[in-house]
Structure formats: structure tokens, C-alpha cells
Amino acid sequence: MDSYKQRPSSAHDSPYWTTNSGAPVWNNNSSLTVGTRGPILLEDYHLVEKIANFDRERIPERVVHARGASAKGFFEVTHDVSHLTCADFLRAPGVQTPVIVRFSTVIHERGSPETLRDPRGFAVKFYTREGNFDMVGNNFPVFFVRDGLKFPDMVHALKPNPKSHIQENWRIFDFFSHVPESLHMFTFLLDDLGIPLNYRHMEGFGVNTYTLVNKAGKVHYVKFHWKPTCGVKCLLEEDAIRVGGSNHSHATKDLYDSIAAGNYPEWKLFIQTMDPEHEDRFNFDPLDVTKIWPEDILPLQPVGRLVLNKNIDNFFGENEQLAFCPALVVPGIYYSDDKLLQSRIFSYADSQRHRLGPNYLQLPVNAPKCAHHNNHHEGFMNFMHRDEEINYFPSRFDPVRHAERYPIPSNICTGKREKNIIAKENNFQQPGERFRSWPADRQERFTRRIVEGLSDARCTHEIRAVWVSYLTMADKTLGQKVASRLNLKPSM
């Protein structure tokens, strides 16, 4: 028997209990003891193995996006974008690529209610013929911070107080009072969009700016947008309390039940593109993730559709062990100098190596479905079958060669080493425009949520004053309303 052809699978279950090594277990009810009463003997290997495995069932949960649900399906190209990218999976209309998608909440623990006000993750893994492409985004088009150096502090502020383990508004508004670029994100988080009805009825955004590169090497900046065909629907506070009170996993259940019933969730993929030579034409930095690109200038272009038509087979194997990283791109798609993206390229993979081990990309849900070859060797939990004698490169005994070269952005990088903020911050124009675009009742709900947050007893006068100044710079009327309700005088 070739032992390397055997792979652990529940499809090959023994008809009787065994240990992990395959030895038969004749009694899975009672520990081995000295006499009827005990004590228990350490030589009861089955007991020790069973308890030791149980003690290690929980891998470290994600620091963010711990609470999530996954589903499988396909992506189909519906419009020709081959003039923009040489990505094989986007080569022509009609081309289909298998995918797995994970939706999630961001801040709270794995068992937390899915009705909490929180951003939602929207991550898509494309299993392409040229390797995996991970489009890792959220349900909002912008983010809290533009520089990854602030990310750990941002998460700490949004997470529960380390002393009481209670999420507290004063900590959130204190930190973000030092981060004026966050105001735009708060116009999404504290808007009605802050609590999606479920995962099927929410948008998705790539958030970061990537680049598309065509066969000729022409580069375009790109932003990705997912639009649900069933529309965007949200829960107001009263509805969220009612829904969450009856089922804290309502969104996971809705996703699973919908697919099981044949009501397959579907999204349309659109892109916005920009010629890098035109980036200075705007009064903001197009690579700043706290900004949106105006659709009247850079219109949405249809690309394809995403259909989720199969539930995952196992929650742990295809949700908890499912790992995404924005660094995973394919020829024809590349990074930009987006500061937040640049740090995510490292941080996501580093997080997965901590959580799942250095060989997490060998796990079936994360492994590419195309042929692949490298000399990454051994390490914890490496179950790659290797019988080659050559594990170095180059070698005259191994015919493996370099892949064909594909184009990547080749702009010249110049500048001195420095730690600086971007030149065009423009933190308040887009939040103000967004607020003014809402009807009066929606504006009132947003204003109330801001006031409730700033009314925390530990929000100091200084913190409230800073926030009122930010809100006033975004929209004078908004600042006046918040100041009045907090008994503060708005200041510029």
C-alpha cells in the first residue's frame, strides 16, 4: 500500500472507534482505572489523546473578523475587460472561476451577535488557473485610517476596554478625535447602513486601490464594487434588537438557508478605473482609503457576476481555516502605493501564519487549484507529499524553470525617507456631501447616534469639542445640531 496516497477523510471512516493512529478502541465510554473507583491510569493513551485533542480544538480566533460565515460558488465574466487587464480569469465573457466567499463582522468575538453595529467583511477567494486571487474588502467603500501604522491602535480603541472587557464609546471617540480622516467612515458606520439586514443584502467594496495591467503593460488604478441583485437592506436599532434577541446567528442562518433552498445570492461586480497620470486632477489623494472616487467622473463599469450556490461542507475547515490575504494577486492585477494596502500585504499573511501555521496555504480551502511548485520545505503541519531529491534552485537535475514574465507597474520611485501624512488630506468635504445627500429623517438618525456616543460620561469636554469642530467643518448645520444637544458652542 502506498501510504502517501492515503489522506484523512471522513469518507473513509472505520466502522468502529480508533485512535488517531488507527488502533481500535474497544471502550469509548470508560477511562482505564485502578479498580472500579480509580484513580485513572496515565497509560490510558486513548483518554490522553482524546482530551489532548479536545483541549486544542480551538485555534486562536481572528483578532478582527472572528465572526463569519462562508459559502461557495462561481464568478462569471459578463463584460470584456481584456483591454484593461491580462488576468486570465477575466479574459473573456462567459469564463467562470470557482470561488469561496467569507462574510464577517469586524470587531467582536466569534460568538457575538450578528446584529451589532459594526463594519462587515466581504472577502472573495478566486481559484484561478494562474493561482488564487483574494479580493479582501468590506461593506463600506472607505476605511477609518489611511496608514497601517495606526491600525493596531484603531482596533484596540474599538475593542472592549482591557480592564472591564466592555466596548465603550469614550475610548472610541477619544482615539478618533486624533484621526480626523475617520469622519467619512463614521458617516457609514453610524448611518442606517451600519447594521445590514443580512449578508445577502449588503454591498461589498475592495476599499483599497489596486492596479490593472494589460498585455501591453498599460496600468490603470482600479477600485472594486460588489452590488447585490436583491438590493441593499438594513436594520434600524429596534429591528436589530428584535432580530438579535431571537437569533444571534441570523445572518449565518439566512445565508445557509437561502442557498439550501436554491435562492442563490448574487452580486454584480463593477470597477472604477483611473489613469495614474490623472491622479493629480482631484482635490484628494486617489490612493487614500478614506475617500471615494466620484462616480460622475469615474463611472462604474460592469465586469461580471458572483453566484453563491453551495454551502460549505464543514464550518471549521472552510470558515475558520479559510484564510485571506490582499497580497495574493494574479498576473494582470497588482498593488498600488495605497499606504493601507502596503501594510496589509504583510500583515494578513503574518496573522494567518500565527493563527494556522506557516503552511496554512496547504490547507485544502486555501490551496490553489492549479498546478504549483516551489521549494518551501518542512515546517509545522506540512503535509505536502514530496518525494523529489532536489529542493533547491537552480539544478541541472530538475527541469523546473521560471514562469513567463508578465507585466507589473514599472513607474520610477523617487523620494527621501520620511514619515509624513499625505499632501491632500481633505478630510471633511466628502463626509459633508454624504450627510447632505440624505433625507431629513436619515440625517436625524445619524445625528442622534453621534450625540449618543459623545454623551458617554467619560467623553471629556475637549473630546466633544474636537468632534463638534470636525462635524462643523463637514457640515455647519450638523455641527450646530450636535453642539446644541451637547450644550457646546461649535468652533472652527
Catalytic residue selected from 46, 65, 225, 250: 65
Which pLDDT value is given to residue 6? 54
- With bands split at pLDDT 50, 70 and 90, how would you rate the model's confidence at 7? low
- Confirm whether 250 is a catalytic residue: no
CATH of the domain spanning 68-362, picked from 3.40.1390.20, 2.60.40.10, 2.40.180.10, 2.40.50.100: 2.40.180.10
Instruction: Pick 7-57's CATH classification: 3.30.70.1170, 1.10.260.40, 4.10.91.20, 3.40.190.10.
Output: 4.10.91.20
Residues of the chain with CATH 4.10.91.20: 7-57
pLDDT digits (tens, 9 = 90+) for 184-194: 999 999 999 99
Task: Identify the pLDDT of residue 378.
Answer: 86
Catalytic residue among 46, 108, 138, 220: 138
pLDDT at 276: 96
Ranges for all domains in the chain classified under CATH 2.40.180.10: 68-362
pLDDT above 80 for 294: yes
The per-residue pLDDT of the chain, averaged, comes to 93
Check whether 348 is labelled as a binding-site residue: yes
- Tell me what the mean pLDDT of segment 272-284 comes to: 96
Q: What is the pLDDT of residues 426-453, one digit of tens each?
A: 999 999 999 999 999 999 999 999 999 9
According to the 3-state scheme, what is the secondary structure of the chain?
Answer: CCHHHCCCCHHHCCCCCECCCCCECCCCCCCCECCCCCCECCCCHHHHHHHHHHHCCCCCCCCCCCCEEEEEEEEEECCCCCCCCCCHHHCCCCCEEEEEEEEEECCCCCCCCCCCCCCEEEEEEEEEECEEEEEEEECCCCCCCCCHHHHHHHHHHHCCCCCCCCCCHHHHHHHHCCCHHHHHHHHHHCCHHHCECCCCCCCEECCCCEEEECCCCCEEEEEEEEEECCCCCECCHHHHHHHHHHCCCHHHHHHHHHHHCCCCCEEEEEEEEECHHHHHHCCCCCCCCCCCCCCCCCCCEEEEEEEEEEECCCHHHHHHCCCCCCCCCCCCEECCCCHHHHHHHHHHHHHHHHHHCCCHHHCCCCCCCCCCCCCCCCCCCCCCCCCCCCCCCCCCCCCCCCCCCCCCCCCCCCCCCCCCCCCCCCCCHHHHHHHHCCCHHHHHHHHHHHHHHHCCCCCCHHHHHHHHHHHHHHCHHHHHHHHHHCCCCCCC
Q: What is the pLDDT of residues 469-485, one digit of tens each?
A: 999 999 999 999 999 99
Averaged pLDDT, 68-96: 98
Q: Given a cut of 90, is residue 375 above it in pLDDT? A: no
Select the highest-mean-pLDDT range: 73-82, 372-381, 393-402. 73-82
Residue 225 catalytic? no
